[in-house]
Amino acid sequence: MRFLTDIGQYFIMLKNIFKRMTKASVLRNLIFKEVDDLIISSLGIVIFLSFFIGAVITIQTALNLNNPIIPKSLIAFTARQSIILEFAPTFMSIIIAGKVGSFITSSIGTMRVTEQIDALEVMGINSINYLVFPKIIAMLLYPFVICISMFVGIAGAYLAGVMGGYIGPEQFLQGLQDDFIPFHLVYAFIKTIFFSFILATVPAYHGYYMKGGALEVGQASTTSFVWTSVVLIITNYILTQLLLS
Amino acid sequence: MIKVNDLKKSFNGEEILKGLNTEFYNGKTNLIIGQSGAGKTVFLKCLLGLIIPTEGTIEYNGTAYSTLEPEQQRELRKKMGMVFQGSALFDSMNIEENVMFPLRMFTKKTKEERLKRVNEVLERVNLENVNKKFPSEISGGMQKRVAIARAIVNKPNFLFCDEPNSGLDPQTAIVIDNLIQEITKENDITTVINTHDMNSVLEIGENIVYLKKGNIEWQGSKDDIYKADNKNLTDFVYSSELFKKVRETQLKAD
C-alpha cells in the first residue's frame, strides 16, 4: 500500500510545483545553475557512452549478418533504428537517471536533513517550487542531449563499421537512409520530453519527502534510481503503444 | 508580543501539547525549556506556523495567525526570522548570498542597497572578511552568527532560535547568547529560544517557560528560577552538581 501513498503524494507535489512561483529574477539564476548541473555536466558521459554503444551495435549486427543474400547496408539500417528508437532516448535516460537522478535526490535530501528546506518554508517560500521548478525547466534542454547522443552514436557506428572493415562507407550511408521514417525522430523526441519531466520530478520527490539522516539520503538515491527506471520503462511502453502501433 | 491561547496539538491521537497558555514579550529573550519529548520542538514549530495546531490560537502582536488568509500568513512569516539548530545555511551559496537571500526574495532593493545591508548585519554579528566564503569553510560558531545575520537581515518582528548553542564550546555559546539578547533589545523584537543549555537559562532567561509532558509547569525569569518550588523544574535546571552549588549559593545570599 505504501507505493499507492507515494503515487498520490507525487501528484500532490506536481500540483504544488506550479503554485506560488518564486521571484523571476531568482528563478532565472536557479535555472542557469540547473542547466549547468543537469545538462552540461552530463554531456561528457553521454558522448562517451553513445560513441561506444553505437560502435558495439554495428559490430554485433555485422557479426550476426553473415548471410550473403542480406545486403551490408542493413548493418547501418539496424544501427540507426536501434540508436534513434531505443538506445538514445530510453537507455540513455536510464543512465541519466543514475547520474542526474541521484544528484537531484541527494542534493534535495541533504537540504531536507540539514533543515535548509525548513528554512525556506519559514521564510514563506514555496520550497517545492523553488527546488523543483528550475529543474523541470532546465530539463527541457534534455532533448538536445539526446540529439547529440543520436549523432555521436551513429558516428561511432560509422567509424566502427567502416574502420573495422565490416561495411563500406557508401553502403553505410545508403543503409542510414534506407526506409527512413521521419516520424521515428518525432516519436523519439516526444518520448524524450516525457522522460525529461520524469527525470526531474521522480528523483526530486524522493529527495523532498525523505526522512532521517545521511544514511537515508543514500537509500533515497538508490530508491529514486529504481523508481525512475521503472517509471521510464512503463512510460516508454505506453508511448510506443500509442505512437507507433 | 506573542500570545498563546489554549494551544493543543495531537499526532495520531496522541496529545503532544495539552492546552498551553502563555505570552512571549517584546524586547525580551523568551526561553522554552524542558526535557526531550516535552513538546518544545512541536511548540516552536506551531509558533513558526510550520505545524497547524489541533486547537487554540496564537496571536502575533494581537493578530491570530489562524484567522489570516494564506497570503496574509505568508506576509506574517516574512516578519519572522529563524535560527536553526544546525544553522541551515544554503550550502550552494556563499556567506554574502546566504545573508542576502531574504532581501533578494522579498524586497525590491538594488544590489548595492542589499550589499550595504548585508555588510551592516555581518558587522553586527562580528563577522568580517567572510563574505565570499562558503558555509563549509567557516567554524560552527561563525555559521551560527551567519544564521543570526540571515534571520535579522530583513528586520523581523519575531526571532525564533532552535538550540542556538548546540555543538558550540561554552565560551562561544555565551557570545551567541549575548548577541541574541543584544539584538532583541536593540530592535525591540520578540525572541523565542528553544534550549537545553542551562547556562543560557541562567544567563539570558528573562521569560522562561518550562514544559513537561506537553504542559507548562512553570513560567518566570532567571531571577525567580532558583527560588522556584517546582521539584520537576529544579531537578531539571539544577541537575549537575555545579548548578546545585550555584543554587545553594544564591539561596544563602538571599
Q: Which helix (H) or strand (E) holds A228?
A: helix A214-244
What's the confidence (pLDDT) of residue B2?
92
Whether residues A116 and B88 touch (CB distance < 8 A) is answered with yes
My answer on whether B97 and B138 are in the same domain is yes
**Domain limits, chain A:** 43-244
CB pairs under 8 A between A and B: 49
- Which of B136, B155, B174 is at the close of a domain? B155
Residue B84 lies in a domain: no
Of B58, B146, A18, give the one whose Cα is nearest residue B50.
B58
My answer on whether B56 and B117 are in the same domain is no
My answer on whether B124 and B175 are in the same domain is no
pLDDT, one tens digit per residue, over B64-93 is 888 888 888 888 888 899 999 888 999 999
pLDDT, one tens digit per residue, over B173-227 is 888 888 889 889 988 999 999 988 888 888 888 999 999 998 999 899 888 887 7
Interface of A with B (CB under 8 A): 20, 22-23, 25-26, 33, 110-111, 114-116, 118-119, 121-125
For residue B90, list chain A residues with Cβ-Cβ distance below 8 A: 111, 116, 119
What's the confidence (pLDDT) of residue B169?
84
DSSP at B39: S
My answer on whether B147 and B175 are in the same domain is no
My answer on whether B241 and B182 are in the same domain is yes
My answer on whether B130 and B166 are in the same domain is no
Whether residues B105 and A33 touch (CB distance < 8 A) is answered with no
| pLDDT at B242 exceeding the cut of 80 | no
| pLDDT at A132 exceeding the cut of 80 | yes
Three-state DSSP class for A1? Answer: coil
Give how many domains chain B has, as a whole number.
2
Whether residues B104 and A114 touch (CB distance < 8 A) is answered with no
Terminal Cα-to-Cα distance of chain A (whole angstroms): 33
To the nearest whole angstrom, how far is the Cα of B143 from the nearest Cα of chain A? 13
Residue B25 lies in a domain: yes
| pLDDT at A182 exceeding the cut of 80 | yes
My answer on whether B29 and B56 are in the same domain is yes
pLDDT, one tens digit per residue, over A72-131 is 899 999 999 999 999 999 999 999 999 999 999 999 999 999 999 999 988 888 999 999
- Report percent pLDDT > 90 for chain A: 85
My answer on whether B62 and B107 are in the same domain is no
- Which of B117, B139, B155 is at the close of a domain? B155
pLDDT band at A47 (very low <50, low <70, confident <90, very high): very high
For residue B73, list chain A residues with Cβ-Cβ distance below 8 A: 124
| pLDDT at B241 exceeding the cut of 80 | no
pLDDT band at A181 (very low <50, low <70, confident <90, very high): very high
Whether residues A123 and B89 touch (CB distance < 8 A) is answered with no
| pLDDT at B248 exceeding the cut of 90 | no
**Mean pLDDT, range B157-169, rounded to an integer:** 88
Of residues B86, B91, B102, nearest to A123 (C-beta): B102
Residue B61 lies in a domain: yes
Give the CATH number for residue B55.
3.40.50.300
For residue A114, list chain B residues with Cβ-Cβ distance below 8 A: 86, 88, 91
DSSP string, A59-112: HHHHHH---TTS-THHHHHHHHHIIIIIIIIIIHHHHHIIIIIHHHHHHHHHHH
pLDDT band at B233 (very low <50, low <70, confident <90, very high): confident
My answer on whether B46 and B120 are in the same domain is no
- Which of B155, B175, B190 is at the close of a domain? B155
Q: Which residue range is the domain that position B109 belongs to? A: 89-155
My answer on whether B131 and B162 are in the same domain is no
- Report percent pLDDT > 90 for chain B: 43
Q: Which three cell numbers stand for residue A225?
A: 534510481
What's the confidence (pLDDT) of residue B68?
87
My answer on whether B176 and B74 are in the same domain is yes
My answer on whether B165 and B52 are in the same domain is yes
| pLDDT at B230 exceeding the cut of 90 | no
